[in-house]
Structure 1
Amino acid sequence: MNSSIRSRYFWPAAMLVTLALLAIGLVTVQSTSAQSATAVINTGALNVRSGPGTQFSVVDVVYQGQVVTMIARTTDNSWVFIRTPNVVDGWVNASYIIPSVPINTLPIIGAITPTPTPPPTNTPVPGTTPTPVQPIYATAVVNTGALNVRSGPAPTYTILTAVYQGDILVMLGRNGDGSWIYISTPSNVVGWVNAKYVIPSIPIANLPIIGPVAPTPVPGTATPIPPTPPPTAVPSSAVVTTGSLNVRSGPGLSYSRADGLDYGQYVTLMGRNLDTTWIKVTTPNGKQGWVNGKYIATTLNMNTLPVLTQTGTGIVVTGVLNVRSGPGPDYSILTSAPYGANMTLLGRTSDNRWLRLRAPDWTEGWANGAYIATSLDLNLLPVLAGPVPTVPAVPGVPPGIPPVVPPPVDPGNTASLRACPNTACAVTGSVYSGLSVTATGRSADNTWIFVNVNNGQQGWIPAQYVVLAVPIESLPVLTTPTG
C-alpha cells in the first residue's frame, strides 16, 4: 500500500520535472535564435584571420555560399568577427559577405585575444601602472600604383618598404597637419605614407597625432636620443611626373633599360651629365641608373648636382648626318644618323667645329657640329683634337659651314626625281652620283628635297641621297598641289 501511494505521487512529480526541463530547453533555443546574426560568403574563398586586417595570420578559410555566424565588428564596419562552420573564431573582410542584419548593429570590439592567464602577484612599482587602451582599427586602401613607406613623415626619410594599389593598411596615427599617416602594412612593417595616396576609412583628423616612433628603450638604460631629422637645406630627392619612366644604364636613350619607375615614386638624386638632360638616381629598390631629367620634379636646382659624366646630348638637324673616323670631311664614314636622331656628345675639337659623339647604333666617331643642335655649352666638353683646318669661303655658303665635298662622279649610280615627296609619285627625271644640283626646298619632315638640274629637270629626291652645303632647315618648306 505504501508502495502504491509512493508510485501514485511519484508520477505527477516526474511529469512536472520533465515539463520544466522542456520549458527551459524551449527558452534556451528561443534566446539563441533571437541573438544570432549570420552572413553568407560572397567570394570564392575568404581568409579568416586572427585580427581585423590583412597583416594578421590566417586561421581558417571559408568558401562561396557558406553561412557563418557574425559576432562583432570593428568601429569602421570594415571587418567582422565571425564563427565558421568549423567552429573557428576569427575576422573576415566585410566586403566579401552578405549579412543577415546591418553590420553596424553588431557590438564593437577590438582584436579578440585568448582568455588571459592570471598575472603573477608581483608588487607593482608606484606610478608605473599603464592605463588600458582599447585598440581601434582604422584602415586605408592604397590608391596609387606603388607607394613608399618611409621612416618619417616626409619624402626625405629613408624608404622602409613599398605598398601597392588595393593594399589595406592599418592607420595608427598622423602628423600635425594630417599630410602623412603612420601605418602598419600587410607585412607588419610600420612607417609613414603620404596621405594623398590612400583612401581612409575614417577622417584622418580623428587619428592621434604622433611623431616618428623611436625604438622602445631597454629598462635600466639611458633615455634614447631622438632620431636626427633629415637635412632640409639641400633636398636630395625627386618625384616621377610621368606614367612610366625607364631607368637606363647610362645617360642616353641608346643605353639599356636597368629598371622602371611609376608616377609618384621618389628617387634619390646622385648627379648629372654635362647639360643636365640626364640625372643619375637611386630607385626605391636600391638600383642606380640614369633617367631623363624632363620627367622628374624636385625643388633642387639640378644644375647644382655633381657632374658624373663628361657627356651631353644633341639632335641631328640635317637630313642625314655622316659620322666619320676623324674630325674632318676627309675621314672615312663609319655610320650615318637621320634627322632628329639623339646623339651622345663625348668631346670636341679645340675650335668646337667638330664633335666626338656616339650614334644611336653605338658607333663612336666625329661629326660636323653645325648639324647638331644642343643646349650644352660645348666648352664643357673635353678637347680631344686640335682645330680643323679652315677651308676657303664659298659664295652663298654661310660662314662656318664647310663647302660640299661632292662624291665621285658615277653616271651608273642614279636616283629618280619625283613629282611629289613620295616614292609612289610619278618620275620626272633622274640624276647620278656626283652631279651638282640646286636645292630650292624641302618637305616638312626634312626627308625629301626639291632640286633643279642644269638640264631643266626638277623634282623631289630623298634627302639621304643629297649632300647639302647648308643645314636642311635653311631651305623653305614646299607643299605640293593636290587635286
Structure 2
Amino acid sequence: MQRSRVCGTAHRLALWADSTYARADWLCAQGVVRIMKRLAAILLSGAIFLGLLGAQPMPSYAISAEHQAALAAQSETGIVAIIRAERLNVRRAPRAKGGSLGLLRRDSVVPLIGRNRIGTWLEAITPFGIGWIDARWVSTNADISNLPIKDDQILPFATVATSALVYVRRGPAVEYAIVDRLRFGDEVDVVGLHSQNTHVEIITPRGRRGWVVTEAVRVEGDLSALPFSDLTVTPLAKINTFRLRVRQSPDPNAPVIGRANLGVSYDVVGVSPDGAWLEITGNFGRGWVLRRFVIVIGNLEQFGLTH
C-alpha cells in the first residue's frame, strides 16, 4: 500500500515535469515567432523606405547643389573641391612635406582658387586659411584646368642638408631657447630672413615657428617677398657680471627686486629713454638692469633706440 502511494506520487511528479517542460518549449517557440515577426516588419519597412528613394544610389557625400554654389561664390573660379579622404592635410605649400595648417574631414567642401602647373595640388580657401590640398584625394565640380596656375606664388622652402640634427630656436642666436628639432632631409617652409643672412625663419612640420642657421639647410624658391623678420624678434640681455642687481625702475637708487646671474639671458621688454637701462623679465617679474653690464643679442631699434 505504501509502495503504491509512493509510485503514484512519483508518476504525478513526472507528468507535472513533462507538462512544465512542454509549456517552457511552447513559450520559447512563441518568443521566437514574435522575434521573427518583428524582424520581418523591420525589413519590410526598410524595403518600402528604400523603394521610396528610387532606384538611384545615394552619393557618398550629401552636399546639396545650393551649398556647393554658395561655397563656389567665395572664389572667383566658381570651382569647389569635395574631400574624399577621411582626413586631408591643408599644407602651406604644394609639397607632401609642406607644413600643415590643419585637417579637412571627408565630405568637407572648399572653394578652389588655384593649382600648380601640373595639376597635382590645388589651392583652396579653408577654415585654416588659404592652403594647398592634394588633388588625388578630392573630387571637383568642374575641370581644374580652368584654375589659375600659382607656381610663382608658392612659399620658398628649406631642406636640412648638412647635419643629422638641427636645432630650431626661438630667435636667431644660440642664446635663444630650442623650440624644435629637425632631422636630415626634413623640409620646412621659409617665412622670414635675417638681415645678416646668418639664419632663416621657418615653420616646422609640427607647426612651430623658429630659426635655423642658414648653412644647415638648402633653401629653394623666390625669397624676394620675404621680410627681414629678425628685426622684430624679442632681443636678449645676456648678463656679463656676477649677480647683477635688478631694480624696480631705471634708477640706481630704486629698490632691488632680484638678481640676474652671470651668463643667463633674459628677454628685453623695454629700454630707458637715455638707453642706459634695459627692462628685462625673469622669475623676479619685470625689472631694470644697467645696460653696460649685459651683452645685447638682437635689435633694440624696435624700442626706438638707435645707438
Q: TM-score, normalised by structure 1?
A: 0.29
Instruction: Please state which structure has a larger fraction of its residues in helix.
Output: 2
Structure with the greater relative contact order (CA < 8 A, sep ≥ 6): 1 or 2? 2
